[in-house]
Structure 1
Amino acid sequence: MPAGLAALMQRAGSGRSLPPVDLWEPDFCGDLDMRIASDGTWFYMGTPIGREALVKLFASVLRKDADGRTYLVTPVEKVGIWVDDAPFLAVEMAREGEEADAAQGEAGRLIFRTNLGDLAPLDGDHPLRFELDAKTHGLKAYITVRGRLEALVTRALMYDLVAQAEEGCGEYAGLYGIRSGAHFFPVCSMDEIAMLEGME
């Protein structure tokens, strides 16, 4: 394992804030036998990493670059790792300011929590996107956590999320989606919803 990452391992559980990985441009040092499975489990050399503090430490130096690859980045090293789907899972959500916003006719902002404790407010900086699973053709949702890193909304949470979907208005008229504060994130068109309901 590269020396920089080994040093990070020794500082596991230090409670440090997230480092500025987007500002670091170290040399690429090759790929590391590390993988994040679709269920959020981290593996090193085929073995699950059982220490949550260590996983959080690695996640703190995680970065997805414009080339589509995901890396662990330190000031002196950049190593590639493998991600089956998304590096994080969105496991919980809550709507803030619900009563006050409802009184004004607006939806409160949704806040998502990841499996590693990150909080991502659903807004313009942390958008929500939807896609169809290539294998199951089921709908999947992703929220941007930081940089280009996303969290896959778990299946259980997906049901709660879709239950909050509504028809858009104004520029989003004719679309079905999720409202969060002043933002609207389309899922599909109302015509597609009507077609699906007709197939039931």
Structure 2
Amino acid sequence: MPYEPPPELAGLSLAEVAELVAARKLPPVDQWSPPEQGDSEMRIAADGRWFHQGGEIRRPAMVRAFASLLLCDEAGQHWLVTPTQKLSIEVEDAAFIAIDVKREGDKLAFRLNSDDLVIAGPEHPITAEGDPDTPALYLAIRHGARARLNRSTYAQLVEIAVEQSDELTVSSNGERFPLIPA
């Protein structure tokens, strides 16, 4: 069966986004304790492209499948986890890139380069890192992995912040997130 990406974020209501998020069945990688550990020989570049043994993985369905197996431990090491193997994967910055955002009411929905949809809030906070002159914004995704907001998504979020208040903060699902690092 061919991979069908979800519709464009702008064309979805937040209720539809929530339905798509709930419908996606992800493997319980955080519950698996595989006996075998090794190196996947994979790398996720800072721009979100995936590589295996130096060659780029160009099939979106493959990237999406691998992304569903990602876990990042407390030390910041990323892993591809299956019931039988736990393989390290090099991640240059963040495992995902947030490529679009949509605000509806008090909720912010993000689309990732893996076609995942995430609603920011207590379980998926937005954090600002770097310094005030060159901040980098990240969105927590799942199992310790996160997405860096690309430039256009960052700009969209700044526009939302300016519309909401005089401060550079946004809110989603009852949580407030500063867009400038502390």
TM range (shorter): 0.7 to 0.9
* Percent identical: 39
1:188 Cα deviation (Å)? 3.8
Residues in 1 aligned to 2:99 and 2:108: alpha-carbon distance in whole angstroms = 13
Residues in 2 aligned to 1:168 and 1:159: alpha-carbon distance in whole angstroms = 14
Query: CA separation of 1:149/1:29 partners in 2, compared to 1, >3 Å: closer, same or farther?
Result: same
When normalised by structure 2's length, the TM-score is 0.79
Q: Which residue of 2 aligns with 1:186?
A: 178
Residues in 2 aligned to 1:175 and 1:168: alpha-carbon distance in whole angstroms = 8
Determine if contact 2:169/2:177 at 8 Å carries over to the other structure.
yes
Residues in 2 aligned to 1:12 and 1:132: alpha-carbon distance in whole angstroms = 40
Residues in 1 aligned to 2:163 and 2:58: alpha-carbon distance in whole angstroms = 43
Q: Which residue of 1 aligns with 2:41?
A: 33
Q: Which residue of 1 aligns with 2:114?
A: 116
Residues in 2 aligned to 1:90 and 1:21: alpha-carbon distance in whole angstroms = 22
Which of 134, 137, 144 lines up with 1:138 in the alignment? 134
Which protein has the larger Cα radius of gyration, Structure 1 or Structure 2?
1
1:111 Cα deviation (Å)? 0.7
Determine if contact 2:71/2:143 at 8 Å carries over to the other structure.
yes
In the alignment, structure 2 segments of 5+ residues that lack a partner are 6-23
Query: CA separation of 1:110/1:168 partners in 2, compared to 1, >3 Å: closer, same or farther?
Result: closer
> Higher relative CO (CA 8 A, sep ≥ 6), structure 1 or 2?
2
Is 1:126 the counterpart of 2:124? The answer is yes
Amino acid at match of 1:132: G
**RMSD after superposition:** 2.9
How many residues get paired? 163
Which of 142, 154, 157 lines up with 2:150 in the alignment? 154
